[in-house]
């Protein structure tokens, strides 16, 4: 009798052990799957779809990026940046973008030939995503506090007139050694602005995209090989890095479960 009980008990334990083993194996597989999905590197042609139908707002830096996308990227990949619109103008300022109406004195962006504010642009376009790179024209590094007020105003405006639009701010791009020589400490002010901008974006629940770091040389300035002659703007190599950073950002959004390309939802 004792032996029978012992044997039955041993069988029971073995069964439980087997079930536990299977459960453990199943759990491990699940974790591996979830972990693998998050770490999966998507191909570029899927990552770039994060930017489909997006609106980019900016100054001459974005204007040159627009030329790069049309003249270089789309030649090789005609389906990249599908439906993307670039509303950019030389000298367009963060202050002007934050204002409720287009400026009578400063440069404005144009929508269908008419000067518009960001408010007006968002009302008319209602994009799924907006990407903003502004501040150089304002020399906003000299007044970071003011810059943060403008950022808040823009975020607030977009939330009001186009609440489904996801807002993204780019870091200010760096300047090269020649510009820094003529305007000492400007880069350190840009850097401080970018730190503040990142924190502000987090506070406001919008996205910050770091594109400055990979453009810098060992001195923390815009690498000359990536700059145009004036030392402010990016040449094609610099813009190629910008595209890479966009792909990395999209990968990050996918890894965080915040976005997935069509077919992977």
Partner 1 sequence: MMKKIMLIALSVLMVCILTGCGGQKEAAVDSTADVALKELVARHITKAGAMIEMPETDLEDYIGIEPSMYKEAVYLQEGTLDGDEVLVIRAVDSKAADSVVSCMENYLAQRLKETQNYLPEAYKVLKATGVQRKHNTVALIVMEKATDVTTALLAGE
Given the complex with partner 1, which of 15 and 71 has the nearer CB atom?
71
Q: What are phi and psi of 58, to 5 degrees?
A: -170, -165
How far is Cα 4 from Cα 219, in angstroms, rounded to an integer? 80
Helix-then-strand count for the chain, H and E: 10, 7
Given the complex with partner 1, which of 110 and 253 has the nearer CB atom?
110
Q: What are phi and psi of 113, to 5 degrees?
A: 90, -5
H/E run at residue 8: helix 2-39
Q: Which of 119, 129, 200, 233 binds partner 1 (CB under 8 A)?
A: 233
How far is Cα 87 from Cα 123, in angstroms, rounded to an integer? 14
DSSP-assigned letter for residue 69? I
Number of residues that bind partner 1 (CB under 8 A): 22
Least Cα distance to 252 among 75, 103, 47 occurs for 47
Instruction: Report CA 49 to chain centroid distance, whole Å.
Output: 13
Q: Is 63 in the site for partner 1 (CB under 8 A)?
A: yes
Nearest approach, Cβ of 205 to partner 1 (angstroms)?
A: 29
Report the length, in residues, of the chain: 265
Q: Is 110 in the site for partner 1 (CB under 8 A)?
A: yes
Helices (H), 40-143: 44-47, 60-68, 74-76, 94-98, 118-125
Given the complex with partner 1, which of 10 and 90 has the nearer CB atom?
90
Q: Is 115 in the site for partner 1 (CB under 8 A)?
A: yes
Q: Name 131's bridge partners.
A: 56, 168
Q: Is 129 in the site for partner 1 (CB under 8 A)?
A: no
Q: Is 131 in the site for partner 1 (CB under 8 A)?
A: no
Q: Is 178 in the site for partner 1 (CB under 8 A)?
A: no
Nearest approach, Cβ of 65 to partner 1 (angstroms)?
A: 11
DSSP-assigned letter for residue 73? I
Given the complex with partner 1, which of 113 and 184 has the nearer CB atom?
113
- C-beta atoms surrounding 27 within 10 Å: 10
Q: Is 7 in the site for partner 1 (CB under 8 A)?
A: no
Q: Is 71 in the site for partner 1 (CB under 8 A)?
A: yes
Q: Is 219 in the site for partner 1 (CB under 8 A)?
A: no
Q: Which of 67, 77, 160, 219 binds partner 1 (CB under 8 A)?
A: 67
Q: Which of 15, 35, 38, 91 binds partner 1 (CB under 8 A)?
A: 91
Given the complex with partner 1, which of 59 and 191 has the nearer CB atom?
59
Given the complex with partner 1, which of 61 and 223 has the nearer CB atom?
61
Applying CB under 8 A, the residues found at the interface with partner 1 are 60, 63-64, 67-68, 70-71, 85, 87, 89-91, 107-108, 110-115, 228, 233
């Amino acid at each position: 009798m004792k032996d029978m009980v012992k044997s039955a008990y041993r069988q029971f334990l073995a069964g439980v052990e087997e079930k536990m083993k299977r459960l453990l194996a199943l759990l491990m597989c699940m974790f591996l799957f979830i972990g693998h999905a998050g770490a999966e590197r998507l191909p570029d042609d899927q990552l770039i779809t994060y930017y489909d139908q997006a609106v980019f707002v900016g100054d001459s830096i974005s204007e040159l990026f627009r030329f790069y996308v049309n003249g270089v990227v789309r030649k090789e990949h005609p389906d990249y940046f599908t439906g993307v619109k670039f509303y950019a103008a030389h000298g367009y300022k963060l202050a002007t973008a934050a204002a409720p109406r287009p400026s009578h004195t400063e440069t404005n962006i144009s929508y269908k030939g008419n000067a518009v504010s960001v408010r007006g642009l968002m009302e008319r376009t209602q994009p799924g995503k907006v990407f903003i790179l502004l501040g150089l024209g304002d020399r906003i590094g000299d007044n970071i506090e003011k810059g943060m007020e403008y950022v808040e105003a823009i975020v607030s405006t977009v939330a009001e007139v186009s609440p489904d639009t996801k807002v993204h701010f780019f870091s200010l791009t760096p300047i090269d050694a020649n510009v820094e020589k003529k305007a000492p400490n400007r880069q350190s002010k840009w850097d401080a602005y970018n730190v503040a901008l990142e924190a502000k974006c987090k506070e406001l629940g919008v996205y910050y995209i770091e594109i400055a770091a990979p453009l810098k040389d060992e001195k923390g300035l815009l690498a000359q090989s990536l700059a145009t002659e004036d030392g402010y703007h990016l040449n094609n190599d610099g813009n190629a890095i910008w595209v890479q950073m966009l792909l990395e950002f999209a990968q990050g959004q996918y890894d965080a479960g915040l976005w997935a390309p069509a077919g992977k939802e």
